[in-house]
A = this chain, B = another copy of it.
Amino acid sequence: MKHLLSIEDLSREGIERILDRAASFAEVAGREIKKVPALRGRTVVNLFYEASTRTQSSFELAAKRLSADVVSIKSTGSSVEKGESLKDTIQTLSSYDPAAIVIRSPQVGAADLVARWSPAAVINAGDGKHEHPTQALLDVYTLRQAMGDLDGRKIWIVGDVLHSRVARSNILAFRRMGADVTLSGPPTLIPRGIEALGCEVETTLDRLPEADVVYALRMQRERMTQAFVPTLREYAERYQVNAARLGPDQLLMHPGPVNRGVELSADVIDSPQALIGRQVEAGVVVRMAVLYELLAGSAAPVGVTDDALAPAEALR
């Protein structure tokens, strides 16, 4: 594995390998000194063309906890929106000979372009409506920790599937791990032909009780102005996941940040069946695992005796 561009590139074994590695990094995260020397002296570039406190700080921290040097570049706006400009930027950054480039872009396919232009390992941190593979990996990791294997589990993804790269990556990852995936939301927000990915579509939440896991998507307010849904209130009436709809044994997930009172009601957000906090927590260890797999050689065995997990003294 040279890059992480899409969940499509990963086999079930590949996913499991990353999750096992993440589980061993979780042991490091529990130490007082949360750092290992694995990537010391190597450079990780974070190139974010969209604002993202959450994903960016998570990647930054993952790289720092592996002792890498991190250069973070945030760019918004017109000068970088054309492919040619992105190419020039990547050529510039590649001249630093970074071990990895983490890229988030509003353009579908941006990470693939970067992988073509740069010798660095490339991690897709979100490319337009296309994919967000580390989000899917941390979601599978969180679920596996909470319920074990996903084989035969029923997972419902609810909300604005149309504009969601998270939905796309998660459908692929949940399917790969053996789960049954059902999408539900307003018909205007479910892309036509999405069943080709191996999932079912429901336009109501009537059968929601069948789900083992309910994964609510973020409802973006700007969609309202585009008439995808009449009002947030009507959306919430029909599709909000709340205590009336969620059974006590169903697990609840959300990629964050949550619009409280829109896609989720306040009571379920803070309920014990919500895994939202554990998803964020998983973000750092899963990203450490991805960086480690790509940069420190996937040939290395996975386990706590691994060099990557050398005790903190090795840092001195």
Closest chain B CB from A263 CB (angstroms): 13
> What residues of B have a CB within 8 angstroms of the CB of A85 in the complex?
257
> What residues of B have a CB within 8 angstroms of the CB of A258 in the complex?
88
Candidate in A45, A93, A96, A257 with the most chain B CB atoms within 10 angstroms: A96
> What residues of B have a CB within 8 angstroms of the CB of A93 in the complex?
57
Stretch at the interface among A33-41, A189-197, A207-215: A33-41
Asked if A230 is at the interface (CB within 8 A of a chain B CB), the reply is no
CB contact under 8 A between A35 and B29, given known A53-B75, A73-B57, A95-B283: no
Asked if A281 is at the interface (CB within 8 A of a chain B CB), the reply is yes
CA distance A101 to B289 in the complex (A): 25
Contact yes or no, A43 B34, CB < 8 A: yes
Closest chain B CB from A119 CB (angstroms): 12
Q: Which of B37, B73, B276, B316 contacts A53 (CB 8 A)?
A: B73
Number of copies: 3
CA distance A57 to B73 in the complex (A): 8
Contact yes or no, A61 B53, CB < 8 A: no
Asked if A146 is at the interface (CB within 8 A of a chain B CB), the reply is no
Asked if A97 is at the interface (CB within 8 A of a chain B CB), the reply is yes
> What residues of B have a CB within 8 angstroms of the CB of A280 in the complex?
91-92, 95
CA distance A278 to B96 in the complex (A): 10
Asked if A304 is at the interface (CB within 8 A of a chain B CB), the reply is no
Asked if A312 is at the interface (CB within 8 A of a chain B CB), the reply is yes
> What residues of B have a CB within 8 angstroms of the CB of A40 in the complex?
33, 35, 312, 315-316
Asked if A113 is at the interface (CB within 8 A of a chain B CB), the reply is no
Contact yes or no, B281 A95, CB < 8 A: yes
Give per-residue flags for A51-95: 1 if the beta carbon is below 8 A from chain B beta carbons, else 0. Answer: 001100110110011000101010100000000110011011111
For A, the interface residue count at a CB cutoff of 8 angstroms equals 50
CA distance A197 to B90 in the complex (A): 36
CA distance A69 to B58 in the complex (A): 13
> What residues of B have a CB within 8 angstroms of the CB of A92 in the complex?
53-54, 256-257, 280
Of all chain B residues, which has the CB nearest A92? B280
Q: Which of B84, B312, B316 contacts A260 (CB 8 A)?
A: B84
Interface of A with B (CB < 8 Å)?
29, 31-35, 37, 40-43, 45, 53-54, 57-58, 60-61, 64-65, 69, 71, 73, 75, 84-85, 88-89, 91-97, 256-258, 260, 276-278, 280-281, 283-284, 312, 314-316
Q: A57-B71, A91-B280 are in contact. List 7 more A-B contacts (CB 8 A).
A: A31-B41, A34-B41, A34-B42, A84-B260, A88-B257, A91-B276, A96-B284
